[in-house]
Chains A and B, each alone.
Chain A
């Protein structure tokens, strides 16, 4: 079985451009969360989606948006890129979306560099 897959693995963009990152969760998992990890720091929560609905949003500007598709894959979009958006973007897949404790499975991440 495939784990959590993210694409692309690496990306270089110019300031002001837009980027779309993709995540496919583990088969059967309906919850996808996105995190931003700046070099040397722990990941920061951006969004959580469950059953195609947004269930949580972190403290990120409106330039960040996401959606979840009927097959539970997800896209993270970032508009008007800034140098400070350079980071590793991680996707986490979980089996449930409610308050049940469940393991988190992470993708390899997309390393975004903004120049």
Chain B
């Protein structure tokens, strides 16, 4: 079993829909990162969380440390949100090493 599991693996939505991507992990962590990867490979950091909730524009990220679970929400989705969304955790004592989930491929149709 992977240390970081994401669901769903693939997601297709209509423009305007509310989207939720889930991430579960099995190790103790000091932080969780949500990242966005567009075709071509570049990765952009969206959020870094160690507790609670963060919001940036139409994106909201939450984390429940006790349940070892995080969610990324996109409100009023738009075709430009189409990308791969990746959850990565920083385990206790692991320095700067990140352990990544497999990613969720999101396509938003107009």
Which B residues between 69 and 110 are near A, CB-CB below 8 angstroms?
Answer: 86, 88, 90, 92-103
A109 and B41 form a contact (CB under 8 A): yes
The interface on chain B, measured as residues whose beta carbon lies within 8 A of the other chain's beta carbons, has a size of 28
Q: Does B44 contact A (CB under 8 A)?
A: yes
Cβ of B45 < 8 Å from any Cβ of A? Answer: yes
Note all chain B residues with C-beta closer than 8 A to A96.
Answer: 96
A92 within 8 A of B: yes
A5 to chain B, nearest CB (A): 12
Bound CA span A35–B33, Å:
15
The interface residues of chain A lying within 8 Å CB-to-CB of B50 are 101
* Minimum Cβ distance to chain A for residue B109 (Å): 22
Kindly list chain B residues whose C-beta atoms are within 8 Å of the C-beta of A86: none
Nearest neighbor of B48 in chain A, beta-carbon distance: A103
Question: Which of B33, B48, B96 lies in contact with A50, CB distance below 8 A?
Answer: B96
Select one of B41, B43, B95 contacting A56, CB under 8 A.
B95
- The answer to the question of A90 belonging to the interface, with a C-beta cut-off of 8 Å to chain B, is yes
Q: Give me 13 other A-B pairs in contact (C-beta within 8 A), A45-B98, A90-B41 excluded.
A: A35-B98, A35-B100, A55-B95, A58-B97, A94-B96, A97-B95, A101-B48, A101-B50, A102-B48, A104-B45, A106-B43, A106-B45, A109-B43
